[in-house]
Amino acid sequence: MLKEQESVLTVLQQKLGLNSETAKVLVVGLGSTGLSVARFLKNIGLQFAIVDSRNKPPEIDRMVEEMPDVAVFTGGFDQAAFEVATHLLVSPGVSLDELSIQKSMQAGCQVVSDIDLFACATDKPIVAITGSNGKSTVTTLLGEMAKHAGIDAAIGGNLGVPALDLLQQSASITVLELSSFQLERTSVLEPVAATVLNVSDDHLDRHQSLERYAAEKQRIFNGQGVMVLNRDDPRVMVMREAGRTVRTFSVQQQADYYWDQQQDMLMAGDEAVMPATELALQGLHNIANALAAIALADAAGFKREPMRQALRRFQGLPHRMQTVAEVNGVQWINDSKATNVGACVAALNGFDRNVVLIAGGDAKGADLSALTPAVAEHCKAVIVMGKDGALIADSVTDDMPRYTAEHMNEAVEMAHKVAKKGDVVLLSPACASLDQYKNYRQRGDKFTRAVKQQVQSI
């Protein structure tokens, strides 16, 4: 804990109405976030119970082992538990539209988030990052920049370690990746710098509309910290607030941080930071990610040379534009983390070679028409699979060859038959994975194994 317990309790009382005498917190959901919340509440001395609709939540065994005296209700949402709660701490995976949650909110129960608790418990600066695509890359890049600068930074949130577990680290700055689900229930976070990298159709099954989704993303700019905005995204630029310090980045036009196409140089104002060819990450979207990371690092006070070192060395995250094989002139790329249309389009736009695209899964209600021009420009064939594979097939032009696969091995076999020397086979699903896989990582691993088996048979 970065503040003394008494100080934390004072801030929790002032900002969230939480105190050890009257507050009764119901933690909804016992995954990694729920367990981190339980540990925090136990340490700070607040009353709480836990409810989960699943019969055996992922962290139930650890919860019982660490805190056997805490009431845990599983197998449904026990209405009695909701009725006595003064505060709900709803895990990101649980929709606020659940009937029990709505009834509690209407009765005056306050919804808070683990990010709220974290903000109240730390006195160190926070940099916050969100966006439909690229947020994990930019978050990790910023962490690498801090490491090269000798700065002890805690990295987590939606990526990796839950925010509250980061309090155990003696870091001088925290870098948080935040999802729209986390932000929609967060009210007291005030980062020293924050960015919305981009906004495209995603999670519309939860947020109902693109406008509501964008509004939840915009909550990251609470407070008076530096706003880092994507000048190439109109939905982001309208978030600009009068009287705030704003820094923009762009790969299409001049901005505070931009890509000089003629010189192929990353620029910070009039300063040439580094040639784009020196980036370890490939693709136009990663030039944008690099510019955003530089802008955030500047706002956080990092020195320039450590930024360059990180950008030259960081080769990306697993399942994000990851080359898994290159055989007979065909490059096989795992981009399983592309769980929405915008991520797939960004990946396709980074190629000047013919692409055999493997896509499909659960589109989460997104408008798939944005795929049409990118597929028409960059693809020689499309292989679809999963729940909404047929919708993706319908979204491409009639003259585009398209194939349907029942599973990943079949998709890879089809791709091998279609791809020729100089082509790219790209798994970039434009969809969530939960219709067929545990998560995008398992999907990417299946692709990697299938590719390696295919390569061995050549």
The catalytic residues are 135, 158, 203
Of 311, 306, 278, whose CA–CA distance to 292 is shortest?
311
DSSP annotation string for 85-137: -SEEEE-TTS-TTSHHHHHHHHTTPEEE-HHHHHHHH--S-EEEEE-SSSHHH
Which helix (DSSP H) or strand (DSSP E) does residue 186 occupy?
none
- According to DSSP, the β-strands at 379-384 and 355-359 are parallel
DSSP annotation string for 231-252: TT-HHHHTT--TTS-EEEEESS
Distance CA 87, CA 279 (A): 46
Q: Report helix angle 5-16 to 114-121, nearest 10.
A: 130
Distance CA 133, CA 106 (A): 34
Q: Which residues of 277-288 are buried (b: 16+ CB within 10 A; e: fewer)?
A: eebebebbbbbb
Sign for the pseudo-dihedral over CA of 184, 442, 34, 99? positive
Distance CA 454, CA 60 (A): 40
- Are 167 and 1 contacting, i.e. CB atoms less than 8 angstroms apart? yes
Distance CA 150, CA 148 (A): 5
Tell me, what DSSP letter sits at residue 431? S
Of 414, 360, 365, whose CA–CA distance to 387 is shortest?
360
Task: Please report, as a single letter, which amino acid is at residue 336.
Answer: S
